[in-house]
Amino acid sequence: MADEKVKKGSYSAADITVLEGLEAVRRRPGMYIGTTGPDGLHHLVWEIFDNSRDEAMGGFADDIEVIVLPGDVIRCADNGRGIPVDQHKTTKVSALETIMTVLHAGGKFGGEGYKVSGGLHGVGASVVNALSTEMMVEVHREGGAYVQEYAKGKKQYAVKRLGSSKLHGTATTFKADAEIFTTTTVFDFDKIVSHLREQAYLVKGLRITIIDAREANIKIPKPGSQLFIREAFSDCPSQTFYFEGGLRSLVSFYNRYQKPIHKNIFYIEKDYIAPGGREEDSVEVEIAFQYVDDITSRIFPFANNIYNLEQGTHITGFRTALTRSLNAYGRKSGQLKESEENLTGDDVLEGLTAVVSVKLREIQFEGQTKAKLGSVEARAAVDSVFAESLAMFMEENPDDARAIISKSILALKARKAAKAAKDSVLRKGALEGFGLPGKLSDCQSREPEESEVFIVEGDSAGGSSKQGRDRRTQAILPLRGKILNVERARLDKMLASQEIKNLILALGTAIGDVFDLSKLRYHKVIIATDADVDGAHIRTLLLTLFFRHFRPVIEGGYLYIAQPPLYKIKKGKEVSYAYSDEEKVKILGTDSALVIEGEGEEGEALVEEVDDAKSKLPKIRIQRYKGLGEMNPEELWETTMDPARRVLKKVDIDDAIDADHVFDILMGEDVSSRKNFIQSNAKRANLDI
């Protein structure tokens, strides 16, 4: 039997698959760009842009142009040195072709091509090439203009010389392959603008222009004629960024909707050479921060101008130095009494907006998407440079230092109060599923994968949904009125709110430093509020709560918004539900001219009947729903709770930084910013009046 098993599971050289060229990238794109969804699609833009940005970081370029052309084709041009086109001694083809068609080939592995770059993988350009149906690279260099085109990573011809040129730089044009990016190949212009704006702050003196030319009906100049083509699209939506202030300006931008608690923004830019190290191996450290009147922290880490979503060694060094320095100054100044405990890392982070940027020659990321910095030397560099400069800053700015220490001491006291409140509320039994709130009508299933909870507004909706639900898998949690706005509320105040306490206990994850996503009791958490102004407000308050305190629930794909119908339409014996005004018109068809709608004096929905005998059309009845409580259990099941027929919208976070700013504006105390935001975005809102 053992011999037979070995024979069936034979494993020899014949079983080894060798993928030629860039075929490996097309087979396993997720290994190189993280995902083939929208984030991976935009990662293509970042990879090509990073090559141009690296030229600017090296001092060889000061102008980058990114254009989204018709058909969602991306063109990125810079006035750098231009990719070399001479023959490569190993591959025996041009350096341009080598870079674009061979993995791990580029000017970032050694030599003097780049002192600092966005990464040493050398796969960026070739990966984008592999995942594009068409790609063209135009090079202006050493008096000549050159071009080469590719399709799905394969060259279409050898590098061509187009003629002489006085320009210098590179222009790369590509179209993402719909076979790879099956979700969408449509680029989000706002997402591109947000990302590249950040890059303009990070590279002082760099001009970045972004143009949305998808609606343009303009003939694009032929390759070789010019490098930048922005003048041809002067009537298209565009943004241009140029900043001399560096990270200091970026912190001001992040805090534009916040109230600073100290006047001066801390800033340091310095090269760090390790003891006994060489000057060429120095680490460039640039840090800016400012505390604001808020309870959340915002730390933005960058390594070689790549944003590190999962932070890394540089942030470890930053947090260590910050905590140590503030404790030392607090003791020295007498603000921290001998009887008081030290400030913790969490205490000193509260209300902090900081940008930490390091640049290293030999850089190591954990994964191709560069989400986390792994370079060990970055920790010591940031710790040393930051600690020394922060001590000097506090000595020179005693008022600022006093405000910062006071802010951290307040956080320490609040943390202790919150811990006491949490310990009294989130008992061990409650965390394990006992002591569930009395308002919760739980489901019978104890399997989170098949269980869902509807968070509904008020007892009326709660009653209908309890009767209409599938008791085996669907739980109902009614909330009374509007919950606390948690945007500026500390944990102890939140836990004093019975409605929030009920929600925490129902979810089972706990909150704060003991939050545990694995204990989430339902893998569908569904917000089901009424389709009116109050319902929208309650929904926004709940979204704020989840974004600030249960973000892993959103990131895990567990949070949804129910879409109950707006209308019930009965034509004769035929009953239909419309979820929008457009859908209502479509259901009514040509009969819509006969329909009269309205509301009563108290705002209750009216039922209108039309019976035109002359036209011999069927009787039409339209009921306008304002709330879930107006539906009987059968209607609620049919339209909002039945998994086979309902409409749910999954809540996700496309850009956490932008989302953070939106919640700051909408839920914070700055009335003028909120008013301006609402006015500027009014046309994009779906109004239900």
Catalytically active residues, by annotation: 457, 530, 532, 534
Q: Which two tokens stand for residue 144?
A: 């000549």
- Phi, psi (5° rounding) for residue 182? -75, -25
- Phi, psi (5° rounding) for residue 41? -60, -50
**SS3 annotation, 17-44:** CCCCCCHHHHHCCHHHHCCCCHHHHHHH
Reference 82, options 8, 150, 162, 23; nearest CA is 162
What value, to the nearest 5°, has the Cα angle with vertex 362 and ends 274 and 249?
Answer: 80
Q: Which helix (H) or strand (E) holds 376?
A: none
CB atoms near residue 570 (< 10 Å):
16
Whole-number Å distance between alpha carbons of 655 and 26: 26
Whole-number Å distance between alpha carbons of 186 and 72: 6
Provide CB contacts within 8 A for 246, sequence distance 6+.
201, 202, 204, 267, 269, 286, 288
Q: Which helix (H) or strand (E) holds 609?
A: strand 607-610
What string of DSSP letters covers 450-464?
A: G-EEEEEEHHHHHHH
Q: What beta strand segments (E) does 467-523 contain?
A: 474-479
Are the C-beta atoms of residues 371 and 311 closer than 8 Å to each other? no
Whole-number Å distance between alpha carbons of 469 and 442: 11
Long-range contacts of 549-555 (CB under 8 A, 24+ apart): 549/486, 549/494, 549/511, 549/512, 549/515, 550/507, 550/509, 550/511, 550/515, 551/653, 552/515, 552/517, 553/507, 553/509, 553/517, 553/520, 553/525, 554/651, 554/652, 554/653, 555/652, 555/653
